[in-house]
Amino acid sequence: MAQRYFELTEDMTRPDRWLLGDPIDEQGKEVRGRQFRRGERTHVEGRLRVPVYHPGTPLDFTCVDTGGFPVVSEKVARVLAEVAPGDVQLFPVEVESRPEPYFLLNVARLVKCIDDGACAEVSYWTPEDGRPDKVGQYRAVYGMRIDPSKVSDARVFRTWGYAGTLLVAEDVKEALERTGATGLKFTEVTGPSPISEEERAYKQRCNELLDPPPAARRAAWKTLGTLDELAVAPRAICYEWPGHRRDWAIIHREVGRLLLVSEGLSDPFIARLEPSVGFGLELALETEPTELPLDAIEGSWPYILLERISREVVAHEHVRERAKVGLVTLEVAGAGMPASLVTTGGRVGVLLGQESRSLPRLFPTPFGDVRLVAVKALLPAELGYVLKHGSKGMDELARRFAENGEEHLSRAWRRSVV
């Protein structure tokens, strides 16, 4: 019978459990936890102290809050030292306010054994992700399964390419359970795949459709400036968007401005399981850095405005189809917007489709060209001008924006062109 293996994690179901912080050395400095998650031997100077961030019931197995590596009681440490002495290092630590001994567990064995084909789903870091140090490693593993034949004599180990995972052999699991230790949770990573062949085929087809567009979009964004890999804009699962994913990107332009673009409106319609460019467009709003603080994107008016415009584009076919071929004026709620942009009726107007000398009209993707639609925030007087003059008013506004050099740029404080 093939050996069985289990992922060992902390039991998070106990509402009264304590929380431990990062260890502190004898000089009072926090010890970087990364060295305890590499699956290799390490060295620790002196005795470490572990603070209790949140008091509660002490556990025999606890993962440190930010480091994700275990601190264990003496009875857990004793078992691991007996059954897997070559696989682990146990460093004595003082846990704040606790008289009994505890140990920091470093798993010093790394095994390349993940069975990609048997897992529910795996993904890898790519060059486009902006983390060259991680390219080729696993970015995510769902429903992990390993190949027991590749484990050799390891009893406690981490998985190569996804070293945050701690695995133990079945006899180690049983030995730990016999102690009655608390805080342990075991999930088997051997045996049949957690998904059927039909589910696997469906996921594979989804990935074939959804993996290429982001890379194509990022390639297009990089021609417009420097893609910000650190800025975090709210992303979400959104079933109204073609691929059910709603995301945003920030591009630093050469002129010192910021370009906020949607990502996902041009995904294939995943429900149809066929190649397409979704709605056939993505939205772009360019503004000054003072208007779009990178540490608070979600609360900024450019993001709020672009998110509201995206809802209108998703909900109304006539809006997006007109925006792909010409100019369109929209009004959305003015809550959270700068007072200079809000009409007396509490609305904010925008002009979609303003042509620009510095933005492409189209950009290529594997499934077809996608229209990049510029979003220009209008002042109340400019919106009133369009409402009075109709399509001729939009054309005249676009001409005046191009004439004054601001074209698609959105700013809350500027002079009206009418």
Identify whether residues 179 and 252 lie together within a single domain: no
Residue 200 lies in a domain: no
Residue 359 C-alpha from the chain's centroid: 27
Distances (CA, A) of 72 to 41, 78, 299, 415: 18, 10, 42, 65
H or E element: which one contains 115? none
Measure the CA–CA gap between 343 and 333, rounded to whole angstroms. Answer: 10
Residue 17 lies in a domain: yes
Identify whether residues 358 and 240 lie together within a single domain: yes
Place of tokens 């390993």: 146
Q: What are phi and psi of 385, to 5 degrees?
A: -60, -45
Residue 234 lies in a domain: yes
Identify whether residues 225 and 330 lie together within a single domain: yes
Distances (CA, A) of 144 to 147, 150, 202: 10, 15, 18
Residue 230 C-alpha from the chain's centroid: 11
Residue after which a domain boundary falls, among 188, 219, 235: 188
Identify whether residues 276 and 145 lie together within a single domain: no
Identify whether residues 220 and 174 lie together within a single domain: no
Owning domain of residue 23: 5-188
Identify whether residues 129 and 29 lie together within a single domain: yes
The tally of domains found in the chain comes to 2
Residue 189 has a CB neighbour count (10 Å cut-off) of: 25
Place of tokens 């990062």: 22
Residue after which a domain boundary falls, among 154, 188, 222: 188
Identify whether residues 132 and 249 lie together within a single domain: no
Q: What angle do CA 109, 113, 115 make, to 5 degrees?
A: 155
Say whether 21 sits in a helix, a strand or coil. coil
Identify whether residues 105 and 65 lie together within a single domain: yes
Identify whether residues 319 and 367 lie together within a single domain: yes
pTM to 2 decimal places: 0.71
Q: What is the pLDDT along the chain (418 residues), one digit of tens a residue?
A: 578 999 999 998 888 889 998 899 888 888 878 889 889 999 888 889 999 988 999 999 999 876 678 999 999 999 999 999 999 999 999 998 899 999 999 999 999 999 998 999 888 888 767 778 888 889 899 999 999 999 999 999 999 999 889 999 999 999 999 999 999 999 999 999 998 989 988 988 998 999 999 999 999 999 999 999 888 788 899 999 999 999 999 999 988 999 999 999 999 999 999 999 999 999 999 999 999 999 899 999 999 999 999 999 999 999 999 999 999 999 999 999 999 999 999 999 999 999 999 999 999 999 999 999 999 999 999 999 999 999 999 999 999 999 998 999 999 999 999 9
Question: 207, 203, 252, 198: which is closest to 227 by C-alpha?
Answer: 252
Measure the CA–CA gap between 50 and 25, rounded to whole angstroms. Answer: 9
Helices of type H across 144-211 = 170-178, 197-210
Distances (CA, A) of 80 to 7, 92, 104, 174, 285: 15, 14, 12, 12, 56
Identify whether residues 254 and 218 lie together within a single domain: yes
Identify whether residues 293 and 147 lie together within a single domain: no
Residue 414 lies in a domain: no
